[in-house]
Amino acid sequence: MKIKNDELIIDGIDKIILRQLMQDARKPILEIARKVGISGAAIHQRLRKLEKSGLLAGSKFIVDPKILGYRTMAFIGVYLDRAANNARAVRQLEDIPEVIECHYTTGNWSILIKILCKNNEDLMHLLNKKIQAIDGVSRTETFISLDQQIDRQIKI
């Protein structure tokens, strides 16, 4: 691993380590070490360097929201009456647990959010009582996801 022109360059061993952990973050370090042909300590050292570089930001478990009853995923384009209302609107969106992503965008909307709801009735309540009630929101445009067909990280 080295930095060239403010860009992190990783070598083949780092790529193998990252691919293995992206596939299964709980994969034992010694199993990866045997696959790569270096010691477990060397794998740990490389992982610490990758974390220190900012490329790796921990690991996490993925919770399947459908198992908890969240079956409606939607993307909502939020129109603000003034761009100056963005920070305040985002703070209020942070208080809504169903909002799982929020993006400041170019184009028609000021903000694009991704939400998870139990069903369409919950979505309607969320839109009418919470999101559209935020000061500065002039209107919203909603797209319900019927099926997530691709879910992946960047290729290493």
Q: Report pLDDT for 58.
A: 80
| Contact status, residue 114 vs residue 63, Cβ threshold 8 Å | no
Q: Report pLDDT for 6.
A: 77
- Mean pLDDT split into 10-residue runs, the chain, 156 residues: 80 94 92 94 94 88 93 97 93 97 95 98 97 96 96 90
Q: Report pLDDT for 5.
A: 73
d(CA 20, CA 35): 10
| Structural domains of the chain, with CATH | 2-53 (1.10.10.10), 65-145 (3.30.70.920)
| Contact status, residue 9 vs residue 2, Cβ threshold 8 Å | yes
Listed in sequence order, the residues at least 6 apart from 153 whose beta carbon sits closer than 8 Å to its beta carbon are 22
Give the global pTM.
Answer: 0.83
